[in-house]
Structure 1
Amino acid sequence: MQVVKTEVIEYATQVINAEIAEARKLLGRLEDNFAQAVSHIVNCQSKIIVSGIGKSGHIGKKLAATLASTGSPAFFVHPAEALHGDLGMITKGDLVILISNSGESAEFKTMLPILKERGISIIGMTGNTSSHLAQNSDCVVNIAIDSEACPLGLAPTSSAVNTLIMGDALAITAMKIRKFDSIDFAQSHPAGALGAKLLTTVGNVISEFEHNAICQPEQSLAEAISVLCESGKGLIAICRQTMLVGVFTDGDLRRALANGAVLADKIEQHMTTNGRQTSARVKAYDALSLMLDNAISALPVINERDECVGVISISDIHRRGIK
């Protein structure tokens, strides 16, 4: 079959415009019922269970995942599985979100009286506000459309998009109301670059990659050069016992040699004082930003007792997947 580019673009444009047009209608439905649904989510002290069948089920799984990752403990239960034992997962104090465009799902008609008997709050997401689901829900989120983007009016397209959008609106509004922040979000996403960026502290990094990068001020320039080369950080901390008094860098070495320094000199003669430093409690990403903003490659690290515990470099942080 020959595919004509102009036809492809025309048809795709029609689909997108149709879905956008139906989605815009959702703005007029952000009313009392929507606010009530958000209140149910924010005030739920137990679990949120999302259920739907067919395309509504696919969207429901995504909604449950979004709720769970934004501070509202949630999971998805398939209606058929619910009727064959998984209703036991739903207990008093839970909140149930049932999704059905028609609102006449046979499975929900069986589930609803059981849920109501247990005193469980129900949010119905439906395109039919006169349906059985709507009549038996504590609040109804209206996802109605006038027509699907499918030219046959059969494949759930605009209705699925509306469900997705309204679900995101519920989850993210609840997230903002409970002041769920980036650190809270990272607690649910500890793996990968996001978790590394938001959770890893300088102390976490130096505990894994720390080398001996500290000299005492009375040590010789020769000894300091040896430590500088061994650490490979481009900077070593100069400490009197445990307290930071200065740093010695590759640049300090070049300047010392240019000014006629000899290897027997004490390193305190050539160190830089009052330089930048960071805390072991600081996020590694913030330490990285500080180094990049100031065109430096490493920083001495201070603990809560103001003791120098090591040196962190840009490459140390990069090895933790933080860019």
Structure 2
Amino acid sequence: MKVQHSDENASSLCQVARDVIQLEAEAVAALAPRIGPDFDRACALLLGCPGRIVVTGMGKSGIIGKKIAATLASTGSPALFLHPAEGSHGDLGMLTRQDVLVALSNSGETAELLAILPLVKRMQVPTVALTGRPESTLARMADVHLDVAVAREACPHNLAPTASTTAALAMGDALAMALLHARGFTMEDFALSHPGGALGRRLLLRVSDLMHAGGRVPRVTPETPLRQAIYEISSKGLGMTAVVDGDGRLLGIFTDGDLRRALDRGAGLLDTPMGQLMHPEPHTIGPQALAAEALALMERHRINGLLIVEDGRLVGALNMHDLLRAGVV
């Protein structure tokens, strides 16, 4: 069937999209008032789990379950996905008495889930259920039930899982982030589970991998006149120079911006020593810090470069272009 696409149709389709997004946003917002003792109990079970969090669900709920398991695993909570239909044919061997089961089913009556629940109970594996029906079989059999009910699906026939899967995903993310917070999971911890691709580069690279070192670091002494400092800044190409004492201890920084501001004050400054012009409290970072931390520091203070200091001594320099070239930005 050929569909005619007119401006009127386009406007209608855009309105459908807006309505869907609004409905799903309301479904997620409705979850917030439900966060309470049951959520605390679910977190306690998951935090106290000596094994793994095993997530299960059929159909669209299973797809959401896979994403929740992946998010948990990447944020400090070992997790895997168990297909409930395959569970009845041998894959239930993935589950051990040390684990916790997280089961997703909007109806709470999914046959494949209910078929494995008696075995889960026999193993005494705690179960957290996410359903849209607190009175359902799954909700009643679970140790903890989290209510992810929605007023209606975004589907005009109220059939296709849309708002309900969005709500379940949001609740899964809420669990994962609560556990991350409770575990004190750090940016460095996150990096260790994301070694590949752009994310890995962003999180695994350290300042020492990217910084300019040795003779490539612009540096002058407090006695250096401005005219020589300008040459140092230009020749090293980092838009700044460190000011150090005879032992290499960092005393201050002088940047392109400082130069413009100095020249605005009038002529006769070229022979002024750097000790009178430098900024005495530069932002610094250590060589073992993650490059992502250096980026965050630059963004927070709206600066384009950092000096790298170890035990009070200047050991390197880094600017935003270095981070861009490395794919950290």
Q: Does TM-score exceed 0.5, indicating one fold?
A: yes
For 1:113 and 1:59, locate their aligned partners in 2 and report how far apart those are by CA, in whole Å: 23
Q: Distance in 2 between matches of 1:17 and 1:259?
A: 61
C-alpha contact (below 8 Å) 2:130/2:146 kept by paired residues: yes
AA paired with 2:149?
A
Output aligned runs, 1:1-323, within 5 Å: 1-3=3-5, 4-20=9-25, 22-23=27-28, 25-27=30-32, 29-180=34-185, 182=187, 184-189=189-194, 201-206=206-211, 209-212=212-215, 213=217, 231-234=236-239, 240=246, 242-243=248-249, 272=275, 275-277=280-282, 278-281=284-287, 283-285=293-295, 288-289=298-299, 292-293=302-303, 300-304=307-311, 306-323=312-329
Offset of residue 48 of structure 1: 0.8
CA contact (8 A) 1:51 1:76 kept: yes
- Rounded Cα–Cα distance in structure 2 between residues aligned with 1:58 and 1:22: 19
The alpha carbon displacement at 1:40 in A equals 1.5
Deviation string 1:23-55 (CA, Å, 9 cap, x unpaired) is: 455345434333322222233232111111111
Closer/same/farther in 2, CA of residues 211 and 14 from structure 1, 3 Å limit: same
Residues 290/153 of structure 1: CA separation in 2 closer, same or farther (3 Å cut): closer
TM-score, normalised with respect to structure 2: 0.72
Superposed CA deviations along residues 55-95 of structure 1, whole A, max 9, x for unmatched, are 10111112122223333222222223333433222222211
Bigger shift: 224-233 or 278-287? Answer: 224-233
Identity, % of aligned positions: 37
**Alignment partner of 1:109: what SS?**
helix
Which segments of 5 or more consecutive residues in structure 1 lack a partner in the other structure?
262-268
Matches of 1:155 and 1:101 in 2, distance apart? 12
Q: 1:182 to 1:299 in 2, by over 3 A?
A: closer
Alignment check: 8 A CA contact 2:252 2:281 kept: no
Aligned length: 308
Partner-residue secondary structure (3-state), 1:240 = coil
Task: Call closer, same or farther: CA 1:300–1:8 in 2, change over 3 Å.
Answer: closer
Distance in 1, Cα, partners of 2:238 & 2:191: 29
User: Measured at CA, do residues 300 and 143 of structure 1 come closer, stay the same or move farther in structure 2, by a change above 3 Å?
Assistant: closer
Q: What are the superposed Cα offsets for residues 109-164 of structure 1, whole Å, 9 maximum, x if unpaired?
A: 33212222222111111223333322321111222345433233321123222222
The separation in 2 between residues aligned to 1:145 and 1:299, in whole angstroms, is 49
* Distance in structure 1 (CA, Å) of the matches to 2:162 and 2:269: 75
Return the alpha-carbon distance in structure 1 between the equivalents of residues 18 and 219 of structure 2: 67
Secondary structure of 1:92's counterpart equals coil
Secondary structure at the aligned position of 1:51 is classed as strand
Rg larger in structure: 1
Distance in 1 between residues matched to 2:230 and 2:79, nearest whole Å: 57
Counterpart contact for 2:250–2:314, Cα < 8 Å: yes
Deviates further, 191-200 or 154-163: 191-200
Unaligned runs of 5+ in 2: none
Q: Is the 8 A contact 1:67 1:171 kept in 2?
A: yes
SS at match of 1:302: strand
